[in-house]
Copies of this chain bind each other. A is one copy, B any other.
Amino acid sequence: MPGSCTSRVIRMEDLDRKIVALLAGDGRMSFTDLGKATGLSTSAVHQRVKRLEQRGVILGYAALIDHTALDLPLSALISIRPIDPSQPDDSPERLREVPEIESCYSVAGDSSYILIVRVASPGALENLLAVIRARANVSTTTTIVLSTPYEHRPPALT
């Protein structure tokens, strides 16, 4: 039956994409269950996942946490702009050791970076802003997060 094979077989690329999407949705899924979901043997899945980790497609695994439970109930987005645009902008490196900063995005537009931060209180945010301004020599614009309808949703499996 010429042709019937290629129509049934899932291409390798798609298998990797499916594995990645499954793990993005459930980071603790076992290789055995991934195998059942993809039609591969446990070993084959194991091999592919390790390769995806090595190639940097899978960057790591994380538990998603309710930050209020960790005494970090206040989230904010902070836009930063260099005070002296003639200086080289190495803000991400200067701010890397600040543990309250969860994410740092380099952006087009009015600001150079947008940070997502998690702190315990308005007072802690005030202190954090002072630290950021001092360490990176930037001005800041802060947007307080009032609530989080949803976040960190996995990419669609298609």
Q: Which A residues are within 8 Å of any B CB, using their own CB?
A: 17, 20-21, 23-28, 55-67, 69-70, 72, 75, 77, 92-93, 96, 99-109, 113-114, 116, 118, 143-156, 158
Contacts and interface: CB of A to CB of B under 8 A. Distances in A.
Given A20-B63, A55-B69, A118-B155, 15 more contacts: A23-B62, A24-B62, A26-B62, A27-B60, A59-B65, A61-B63, A65-B155, A70-B155, A72-B155, A92-B149, A93-B149, A96-B150, A102-B155, A104-B151, A108-B146
A118 B152 CA distance: 11
Given A143-B109, A145-B105, A150-B92, A62 B64 contact: yes
Contacts of A60: 26-27, 63-64
A143 B156 contact: no
A117 to B, nearest CB: 11
Contacts of A106: 145-149
Contact of A108 (B108, B116, B143): B143
Contact of A153 (B101, B146, B149): B101
Contacts of A143: 107-109, 114
A148 B56 contact: no
Nearest to A58: B63
Contacts of A69: 20, 55-57
12 contacts: A17-B70, A23-B62, A24-B65, A26-B61, A59-B64, A61-B61, A61-B64, A99-B158, A106-B146, A106-B147, A106-B149, A114-B143
